[in-house]
């Protein structure tokens, strides 16, 4: 697309941001909040640095893990919205030079929807996993036991 806004070429800063995001993931088990700040901050710097679209995994993983494994849901929500905002700024910079209104609308709908799923989806999935773990730890009967018919003669015999 000729009108697509240019991105910055790969450089040492980009690779350092990627390594930093991965380092944040490695530290999550012991330093959840610090790892979240590192992973999210490196993604935001990557997106606002105008590199090619990417590096979603570190914030997605920490958002999911914060909700599923810790009690820091507010931090996960903030991380998700900050990541989404940085990604939408990236889209705005790419879409700004496009002259055709239909193409601009398509860019916004496609990218905004995809990016919202990337960053809000882990919130939802993390919450589902957290609630499922709580049910299991509360001693609830597993679903398989509920739907298994009682032993005895089969119906209709």
Reported confidence tier of residue 154, pLDDT bands at 50, 70, 90: low
pLDDT for position 136: 81
Is residue 147 pLDDT above 70, yes or no?
A: no
pLDDT for position 137: 79
Give CA angle at 14 (12, 18), nearest 5°.
Answer: 115
Q: How far apart are CA 112 and CA 116, in angstroms?
A: 6
pLDDT for position 139: 72
pLDDT for position 74: 93
List pLDDT tens digits, range 74-90.
999 999 999 999 999 99
> What are the strands, taking DSSP E only, across 37-140?
none
Mean pLDDT of 10-36: 94
Is residue 46 pLDDT above 70, yes or no?
A: yes
């Amino acid at each position: 697309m000729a009108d697509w806004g240019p991105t910055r070429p790969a450089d040492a800063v980009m690779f350092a941001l990627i390594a930093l995001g991965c380092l944040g993931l490695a530290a999550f088990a012991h330093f959840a909040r610090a790892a979240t700040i590192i992973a999210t901050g490196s993604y935001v710097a990557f997106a606002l640095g105008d590199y090619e679209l990417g590096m979603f995994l570190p914030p997605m993983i920490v958002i999911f893990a914060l909700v599923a494994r810790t009690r820091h849901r507010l931090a996960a929500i903030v991380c998700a919205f900050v990541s989404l905002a940085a990604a939408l700024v990236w889209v705005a910079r790419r879409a700004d030079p496009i002259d055709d209104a239909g193409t601009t609308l398509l860019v916004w709908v496609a990218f905004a929807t995809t990016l919202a799923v990337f960053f809000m989806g882990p919130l939802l999935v993390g919450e589902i996993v957290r609630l499922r773990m709580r049910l299991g730890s509360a001693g609830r009967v597993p679903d398989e036991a509920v739907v298994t018919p009682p032993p005895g003669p089969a119906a209709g015999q």
